[in-house]
Structure 1
Amino acid sequence: MKYVHSQVVTEAAKKALFERGVSLEEIAKIVFEMQIPYNEGLTMEECLDSVEKVLLKREIQHAILVGVELDRLAEEKKLSEPLQTIVESDEGLFGVDETIAFGAALGYGTIAVTTFGHLDKNKIGIIKDLDTKMGKGVHTFLDDMVAAIAATAASRLAHRLRDLEEALPEEEALIKEGEVVAK
C-alpha cells in the first residue's frame, strides 16, 4: 500500500486553493467578519492562524482536493453527461458540493455547521467572487469548500475564546464547596 505523507497532502491542498485564486488571507477576512462581533480583541493574525490550523485536518484537505479536481475536470469538459452539465452550470438542485463541504465542517461542531449554512446562503467575500465567476472557470465545489474552511476556522476561534473565558488562573480562584469562585 502506498502512503502519502501528511505534509504532502497539506501542501497540495494549499496549492490547489492558491492555483484557483484563493488566498488564505481572503478566507481569514471572512473568519474575522464572522467572529469580530463576539471577540472585540480579535486580530487578522489570529484568523489567519486559525485558517492555517484548519488546513492541517485531513478531512478538510481531502475535501479540497476532491472538490477542486471535480471543478477542473468540469472546466476541461472531462466529466460524463449529465454530470458535466450539472457541475459546469452549478445546478441549483445539485447538493453534492455542499455535502462534501458540510461533511468537512462537521468535525468542528454545530457552530461550524450553522456558520457554513450562513456563508453558503449569503456568499460573503471571496465566496461570492467564486460563486459568480460565470464563464471564468468552474467553482461549483470550491466556493463551498472556502465556506467550510472559513466556518471551521471561525468555530475554532469561538471554542478557543470560550475556553479562555472559562479558564481562571489558579491564584485568582478558590475552590469552595465544589464550585470555582473568583476572588
Structure 2
Amino acid sequence: MGNLKNLVFLVLVLLGAFGLNDKYSKYKETLKDGKLIVENKKNLEDKIDEIFVEKARNKEKMENDYEKIKMLIDRFGILSIKNESQFKKMVYIFSNESGLKLKEISKSEKLWDRKGYSLKYIHFTLSGSLNDFGKFLYFVNKSKKYIDTTRSYIELTQEAYKISLGYIENTAK
C-alpha cells in the first residue's frame, strides 16, 4: 500500500507538473499576445499620426492654392477693363499716339463668360504708315491692362490695317 500511495502521489505530482507546464505555456502565449497587441497599437498610432500629418500637409497645400487663386483673381480684376467704351478709348489713344487714324470700330463679340468676367473681341480699322502700325502694336503689347491677342488677326491692305483685339471685361458689379 505504501507503493500505491507513492505511485498515486507521483502521478498527482506529474499531473500537477503537466498542468503547471500547460498554464505556464498559456501564460507565455498571453504575454506574447500582449506584446503583439502593444506593437500593433504602436503601429496603428504611428499610422494615425502619419494620416494627421498628411492631412495637415494637404490642408496647407489647399490653403496655399486658394491664396494663389485669390491673388490671380485680384490680378485679373486689376488687368480687366470696366467696359467696352474704356477699351475703345484705350485703342483710340494708342492709335493716336502712334500716328494712325482710327477709321472704323465694330461691335464687340463675346467669346466666353466666366465668374464675373467676359472675354470680348472688337475689330478695328486703322490707316497710316507701316512704321506707325508697328508703334501701335508696341503700345498694345506694353499696355498695363490685359489685351488678348491669342485669337486676333491682322489684315494688311493698301488703304488700311484691320486688327481684332480682345479684352477682359469685369461683368460682376
TM-score (norm 1): 0.24
Greater strand proportion: 2
User: Which structure is richer in relative contact order (CA contacts within 8 A, separation 6 or more)?
Assistant: 1
Larger radius of gyration: 2
Counting helix residues as a fraction of each chain, which structure ranks higher? Answer: 1
Normalised by the length of structure 2, the TM-score is 0.25
